[in-house]
Structure 1
C-alpha cells in the first residue's frame, strides 16, 4: 500500500489536535477537525488503513445494526455520501443495498424482529417474500424463504476509500505522518499537553486515540484499563464472476459483496477467534454475554499471542513500543474456513459458477462487550479522547464515530446523544487513579 504522502511529512513541533491511528475513525476525525479550522497532525505507526480499515467487507449498512448505534449510523451514512462526493478518486462507493436472506422461518422471524426494533427510525428497510427475494436475485428456485432488504445501504472498496480520504484530508491541511508511532502523552497541570512519538513530541492541547485493536495496549500503559479484546477474523476476494446482486448479501455460512474488479469479497459472520491475552482475564465476566452469543461459531485460543504485541506490555516514553515492533497486524487467515465459506457461497448462489479465491487475508477486530463503540474522554487525562471498539462493523459507522469524537473534543453540540458510547457503562473498566 503506497504512502499517502511522499516524501513523508515532517513531525510538527505543535498542533491543536493530534489524532493517533490512521484508520477510518482517525482519518475522518482529523479531516473534520481541519475543516473546523484546527491544526491537526495524524499519526499512523505503519500505513494509512493498512489494518482493519482495509481488511473489512466494505459494507456501509444501517440494516442489522444494534438500535443503540442506529442514530449514529444514519448520520454516518449521510457523511459517507458527503465525503465520497468531495473526492475525485474512484472508491467503488454507491447505494448498492444490503440484503439478508433467510434460509428458514426461524431466520425470517429474526429478520422481522430486527425490523420491528428499528421501526422508529423510518428506514427504507422491508421484509421480502420468497418470490420477491427470487426476483431481486434473478432466480426462481425458492432457495430462500424471504429476506430483509435496505435499498439505501451502501458499499465501497475499503482499500481505496480510506487512503483517498486521507489524501484529501492532507490536501485540506492535515499533516499526515505515516511510519511514526505514538508512545505516550505528556500532561501539564493534570491536562494533556503533548503526544510523545518515536520521532519526538508534538505539543497539543487535545488528542483522539483511534487506534483500533491497539487502543487497549496504548491505554494500559497509561494505567487505563478498558474492556476491549482483539478478535481475529478473515475474508477473501474471488476471481471475477457474474453479478447476482450489486451490494451486500448476508447469509448463514457465507456473506458477499460485489467488488469493483468484478469479483466478490466473502466473509462469514461470527466466524472469529478470540485471542486470549492477560486483559481477557481482567474483563472476562464483562465479555461472557458476547461469548455466549457467538459461541456457536467463534473460537477461543490461547497461544503465542498471549505474550504478543497486543498482550501485556509496558514501556516508557523513551523506549520502543509494541507498535514499533509490529507496524502492521497481518495475521494468517484460517484457510480451511475460507475454503468452506467459498463452497457455501457456491451452493447458495449457483450463478457464481466456478469462482476461486484470488486473495485471502486476516485482520484483528477491536471488540467491546456490547459490540458498541467507546467514544469518551480518558479518565485521568483530560484532553485525551478515545474512539475505539467498533467491533467488526466500523467501516460503515467510522465517519460518524470520527465526527462525534471531534465534536465532543471541541465541546460542540454532538450530532447524536453521546451517552450510549461512554466508557463508564462497563463495570470492568478502571484506571489507576481510581480509589482502590
Structure 2
C-alpha cells in the first residue's frame, strides 16, 4: 500500500543555516513546516565555512540583508537559546599594497551610505591598535559591530530552535523526486518519506541548481571547496575577524582566533569539490601558501603548527550574488542558495525575509539583485566569467 504523503504548509529542501532559519521564522508565524536534509543539519557549507560574521567587502546590494542579520546575530541567545560562540570583536579588513589600500578606503567611505560604519586607519595607526600586524600592512578599515562565530554549532542550533517552534526536521532524507501534483508540490526521498505542500523552498546549497533545473529555472552554479586550517592553541592575542586583501589574489588570506587560542585560517585559493560525492579536497600546496601568507601578515605565527585542515562543498553563481526569492516560472516555488562563499552572516536575515515573503507575499528588504530567473538559458559560471573578461578587453 502506498504511504499517504505527510502534509504541511511549506516543505523545505536543505538543512543549512538558510533552511533552518527559514523553518524557524515560518514556524513562528504559525506555518506548518517539514524540512528535509540529505545528511545531518548544518553538515555542508553552513558547517564547514570560515565562520565570519562580517559586512565589509559585500556588494552594497547585500548590505540591507547584512545589516538586519547583524541585529539578529546580536540577539541569538534570545532567538535560538544559543550564542553559537558568536563574539562581537569586530571585523578588520587590511590591505597589503597601495592599490588594495585605495580600494579599501573607497569602499569604506562609500559604505557609510548603506549603514556600515568602518574606521579607516593608516599602517602606523593600525599597528598601534593591532601590534601583531607586520610592516607589510599598508592600511585597514575596522568595523566594530561585526565578529565571528562557530559554524559547526550554528546550523544545528537553528534547527533545534525551529523544531521547538513546531517545525518538523527530518535528517538523512535524500530527495529523489520533486514535482507538482495538482496545486501542490510532492517531494519524495530515497528513505521513503513523502511530503506534500503548496509551497516548496529550496535551500540545498550547491545541490540547488539541480533542483531548480527540475522546474526549468536556469541557475548555474560552480562548485568549489574552501581551504581551511586551524593551528594549535596559542596565547589569545587577536580579537577581530581579520581579512587581508591584495592586488595579487594569492596574497589574500583571512583568519580569526577563538577563545581557546586556536587560529582558524582560510584562503587564498579554492580546491575541488563534488556534489556527486558530497566531498571536497584540501590541497597541500594551498595550505602551504595559506600558512605562508598568514605568517607574512602576523609574524608571531612563524612557529605556529597546523593541527587540522578541512574543506566543504560551496556553490558560486556567475555574478557572485545569491539566488533569493520566488521562481518566475512556478507559483509557490522559492529559492535561497548560491551565496558564493559569503552566506554565513546573512543566514538569519535570509530566513526572516523568506518567511515574510512566503507567509505575507512580500519581503521587507529588496531582493531585486538576487532575483531567480536572472540567468539566461545555457549560462554557466565559467561562461559568465569568460564573457566578463572579454567585455573588459582581457
What is the TM-score with the length of structure 2 in the denominator?
A: 0.87
Are 1:179 and 2:172 matched, yes or no? yes
Runs of 4+ in 1 over 6 A off after TM superposition: none
Match of 1:195 among 177, 187, 191: 187
Which residue of the partner structure matches residue 341 of structure 2? 392
Which residue of the partner structure matches residue 295 of structure 2? 346
Deviations 1:288-345 (A, max 9, x none): xxxxxxxxxxxxxxxxx6xx72xxxxxxxxxxxxxxxx4xx22121122112211221
Cα separation, partners in 2 of 1:67 and 1:240, compared to 1, 3 Å: same
Deviations 1:47-70 (A, max 9, x none): 111111111110011111111111
58-67 vs 417-426, greater mean Cα deviation: 417-426
Are 1:144 and 2:93 matched, yes or no? no
Are 1:232 and 2:230 matched, yes or no? no
Kindly state the Cα deviation for residue 21 of structure 1 after the two structures are TM-superposed: 0.4
Residues 37 and 172, structure 2, Cα contact 8 Å, conserved in 1: yes
Q: Distance in 2 between matches of 1:418 and 1:164?
A: 26
Q: Distance in 2 between matches of 1:203 and 1:195?
A: 6
Are 1:85 and 2:83 matched, yes or no? no
Residues 242 and 352, structure 1, Cα contact 8 Å, conserved in 2: no
Are 1:135 and 2:116 matched, yes or no? no
1:207 aligned counterpart, secondary structure = strand
Are 1:25 and 2:23 matched, yes or no? no
Any stretches of 5+ residues in structure 2 without a counterpart? 245-250, 380-394
1:202 aligned counterpart, secondary structure = strand
Are 1:104 and 2:97 matched, yes or no? yes
Kindly state the Cα deviation for residue 354 of structure 1 after the two structures are TM-superposed: 2.0
Kindly state the Cα deviation for residue 82 of structure 1 after the two structures are TM-superposed: 2.3
1:395 aligned counterpart, secondary structure = coil
Residues 96 and 154, structure 1, Cα contact 8 Å, conserved in 2: yes
Are 1:53 and 2:46 matched, yes or no? yes
C-alpha RMSD over aligned residues: 2.2
Kindly state the Cα deviation for residue 201 of structure 1 after the two structures are TM-superposed: 1.6
Which residue of the partner structure matches residue 434 of structure 1? none
Q: Distance in 2 between matches of 1:418 and 1:147?
A: 30
Match of 2:112 among 119, 133, 142: 119
Which residue of the partner structure matches residue 203 of structure 2? 210
246-255 vs 28-37, greater mean Cα deviation: 246-255
Match of 1:68 among 45, 56, 61: 61
Q: Distance in 2 between matches of 1:207 and 1:261?
A: 41
Any stretches of 5+ residues in structure 1 without a counterpart? 1-10, 276-304, 310-325, 431-436
2:224 aligned counterpart, secondary structure = strand
Residues 377 and 383, structure 1, Cα contact 8 Å, conserved in 2: yes
Q: Distance in 2 between matches of 1:83 and 1:58?
A: 15
Are 1:365 and 2:314 matched, yes or no? yes
Residues 229 and 366, structure 1, Cα contact 8 Å, conserved in 2: yes
2:261 aligned counterpart, secondary structure = coil
Kindly state the Cα deviation for residue 254 of structure 1 after the two structures are TM-superposed: 2.2
Q: Distance in 2 between matches of 1:214 and 1:66?
A: 24
49-58 vs 331-340, greater mean Cα deviation: 331-340
Aligned residue-pair number: 369
Kindly state the Cα deviation for residue 140 of structure 1 after the two structures are TM-superposed: 8.0
Cα separation, partners in 2 of 1:389 and 1:331, compared to 1, 3 Å: same
Match of 2:7 among 14, 24, 44: 14
Which residue of the partner structure matches residue 317 of structure 1? none
Which residue of the partner structure matches residue 386 of structure 2? none
Cα separation, partners in 2 of 1:140 and 1:97, compared to 1, 3 Å: closer
Kindly state the Cα deviation for residue 242 of structure 1 after the two structures are TM-superposed: 2.8
Cα separation, partners in 2 of 1:86 and 1:341, compared to 1, 3 Å: same
Q: Distance in 1 between matches of 2:341 and 2:76?
A: 22
Kindly state the Cα deviation for residue 274 of structure 1 after the two structures are TM-superposed: 7.0
Q: Distance in 2 between matches of 1:211 and 1:110?
A: 34
Kindly state the Cα deviation for residue 348 of structure 1 after the two structures are TM-superposed: 1.7
